[in-house]
Structure 1
Amino acid sequence: MVPSYSRKAISGQNNYLGTVTSQKIDENQMGNRGSKSEFQSPQPNEISVKEQRVDGSYFGFYPKLRCTLMGFERSYQIKIPSNQLKLLKFFSTLNSKPETEINPWFITGFADAEGCFSIKIQQNAKLSLKWRVRPVFSITLHIKDIAILESIKNKLGVGNISKCGEKAVTYAVDSIKDIHVIINHFDNYPLVTQKLSDYLIFKQCFEIIKQGNHLTEIGLLEIIGLKSNLNLGLPVKVKEAFPNVPEVNKLEYKFNGIPDPFWVSGFTSGEGSFQIIARNSNNSIFARFSIHLHIRDLEVLKGISTYFNEFTEKKVTMTEKSAQLQISKFSDINNIIIPFFKKHPILGVKSLDFIDFKKVCDILKTKEHLTSTSVYNQIIEIKSGMNLNRK
């Protein structure tokens, strides 16, 4: 699964580095989310990953983020009024204390799951080279999770949050001064997944832009060559305009381990799933924690699976395109998974799924659901309000 994004021009060199308000996003340029996967649900009625992200964004056998992320690297300017942002805070489930400062490793983990590093190359007849270049770091979420974006924005101290369609919001950073803050963050708290390769290309392009070399033909061609290996590569119009630009070899990626427990909670807040599975035949109910990733991030998944506890009974399964970690042994759920995320909290709407997940596990400890219809129905009622069913 995958996303990517856009902005407003100012004069001079800032023609290349503007201020974000609101934008449409090109679904064809959403490969930046390199850690996403295309996979088939384990069972017909079970949707495993990112259930509470953009409503209706998962469908069919191969889920993809759909129409809330639109456009072709162009923007439309619809700024969210401040009172609307206040109303949107109704959706905030970040913490009982919203002012709690987000851990920097959480930001990196969440960016590994949800972030986008992109270089926008757009035609502009007013410029000497006729092309405008802008680096953009962005995260797009369901509007219910605006609190996470606000917390990230407050921690980093840069960027803007804008509405993106009816049900999504985007946090984006694209000014040259602010991108420097983003570079500093990810240099100090490095990415873990294949997205690290995109970041390194993004950083190379930024260095060219920072020196003003993007205003020269040589610098522009160098950026285009680098962008050819970024995310989904070059847009059709850029390919047609620059057919002979040589591609730049992408730096080889190597998984170097899980750096911090808050990276895990950040990544899980984006990629993880807390599920309650019911078997109607014998009133059997079990809890399952799972993460789906693209097969290229298999080593990351293995690293997460061993990070919790080497003795945890876990199952990593693979298809041609995806890999899945599942932990469903109740003692592991109760003694390792729940304590871990109580200490290193899930943020956003998914935190409500974790609360319900824990609530059901507390009931399962008693085993009363096996003999009491009312207790069994209580669990089913909790389950019915989780993930995609959460209002």
Structure 2
Amino acid sequence: MLPHYLNSDDKFPLYTGNSLNSIVLAFFPVTINRFGQSVGNLQSLDQTLIESSETKYGLSEQWSNWLTGLIEADGSFPNEKDKTLSFYISQSTKNAPLIYAIKFWLGFGKVRWQHSEKMVHFVIEDIPNLLNLANLINGRLRTESKYETYVKWVNRLNKKTFVKNKVIIKPLNSEINFNWLAGFTEGDGSFFIGQGNTPRSKLGIQITLNISWTQKSRKTLELISQHFRGAWSYNKSHKFWVYTIKRQSEVKKLLFSVFVNNPLYGIKRYDYLDLKQACELFNTKRHLTESGLELLLEIKSNMNSRRTSISDPRVD
């Protein structure tokens, strides 16, 4: 069930001082739109957004798989205890532009703010568009627990007497898809720089580059572990599994291949770009110098929850 909202206005709060277009453009500087079309600069992206306001049809396989991954991380299909059918994706207010972009690209749904919890939600509450979403992600789900709730949710949806075209549920997808992985990483992934003391380094500090994912079910992360070598750990306090990749060859594969061809769109895109910049320092051995170490620690200081600004390291 959706939490209580202090503000359910569907407009972007006035204090942000930005229009939807400017927010979307600022968040997605050189990327791929949800039709799978390559976009070379902000101006052409702006034109693409304007020309593509009708988004219920023609969505690319890439974007649909990305959306499914995000849904499996942060989406919710409320259970049978709720009297009405609905769907929502929840994000922190820092990631509000991603929520607005999803609404813009799909062409339906609402955005609701929960200011007290610093959360923003993309919500669908009408049956026709719940059916649109159900069909869009059908056959793309890869997480057993989320798939089970999806099946129960769709069965409730199909029971509505006025629903003529019932959703024929496809089986759980057991193959990884890197677009899906990008979306899943938006929600349950993390890019971070580790720091520790070591006598083996002349600078006395060891820096590691890390990419990790968390889940209550280990089985979901095993899908990732089949393709990338990493290490397992279990957080007893919060009862979730963590799969972490530190091996430099694997980190480079993800940073310079997988997430280049299958981009992230939300705020974690900036953590990804920061880690990519850090990896480039490793590639040139600058991390072994005092100036390189200082730069790495500066990058680390503005990542994840410590991020105070949104900037693209590639832009001068």
Distance 1:88 1:323, change over 3 A: farther
Q: 2:9 aligns with which of 53, 71, 79?
A: 79
RMSD value, Cα: 2.7
The reply to whether residue 141 of structure 1 matches residue 91 of structure 2 is yes
Q: In structure 2, how many angstroms separate the alpha carbons of the residues matched to 1:284 and 1:99?
A: 36
Q: 1:170 aligns with which of 117, 121, 126?
A: 121
Normalising by structure 2, report the TM-score: 0.74
Distance 1:152 1:193, change over 3 A: farther
Q: 2:271 aligns with which of 339, 342, 353?
A: 353
Deviation at 1:190, TM superposition (A): 3.2
Residues 83-94 of structure 1: matches in 2 within 5 Å? Answer: 84=14, 87=18, 89=20, 92=24, 94=27
Deviation at 1:77, TM superposition (A): 5.6
Match of 2:296 in 1: 379
Match of 2:103 in 1: 153
Share of identical aligned residues, percent?
22
Q: 1:366 aligns with which of 269, 281, 284?
A: 284
Match of 1:283 in 2: 205
Unaligned runs of 5+ in 1: 6-24, 26-70, 123-132, 213-253
Deviation at 1:330, TM superposition (A): 1.1
The higher-RCO structure (CA 8 Å, 6+ apart) is 1
Unaligned runs of 5+ in 2: 36-62, 164-170, 199-203, 309-316
**Is residue 89–residue 122 contact of structure 2 (8 Å, CA) maintained in 1?**
yes
The reply to whether residue 195 of structure 1 matches residue 139 of structure 2 is no
The reply to whether residue 341 of structure 1 matches residue 259 of structure 2 is yes
**One-letter code of the match for 2:231?**
K
Deviation at 1:97, TM superposition (A): 5.0
Q: In structure 1, how many angstroms separate the alpha carbons of the residues matched to 2:75 and 2:10?
A: 21
Q: In structure 1, how many angstroms separate the alpha carbons of the residues matched to 2:94 and 2:243?
A: 26
**Is residue 265–residue 345 contact of structure 1 (8 Å, CA) maintained in 2?**
yes
Q: In structure 1, how many angstroms separate the alpha carbons of the residues matched to 2:222 and 2:234?
A: 12
The reply to whether residue 209 of structure 1 matches residue 142 of structure 2 is no
Deviation at 1:341, TM superposition (A): 0.8
| SS, match of residue 135 in structure 1 | coil
| SS, match of residue 346 in structure 1 | coil
Deviation at 1:152, TM superposition (A): 2.1
Deviation at 1:267, TM superposition (A): 0.3
Deviation at 1:280, TM superposition (A): 3.8
Deviation at 1:105, TM superposition (A): 0.3
Match of 2:314 in 1: none
Match of 1:390 in 2: 307
Normalising by structure 1, report the TM-score: 0.61
Residues 265-276 of structure 1: matches in 2 within 5 Å? Answer: 265-276=182-193
Match of 2:74 in 1: 114
**Is residue 94–residue 347 contact of structure 1 (8 Å, CA) maintained in 2?**
yes
Deviation at 1:91, TM superposition (A): 5.8
Distance 1:255 1:301, change over 3 A: farther
Distance 1:339 1:199, change over 3 A: same
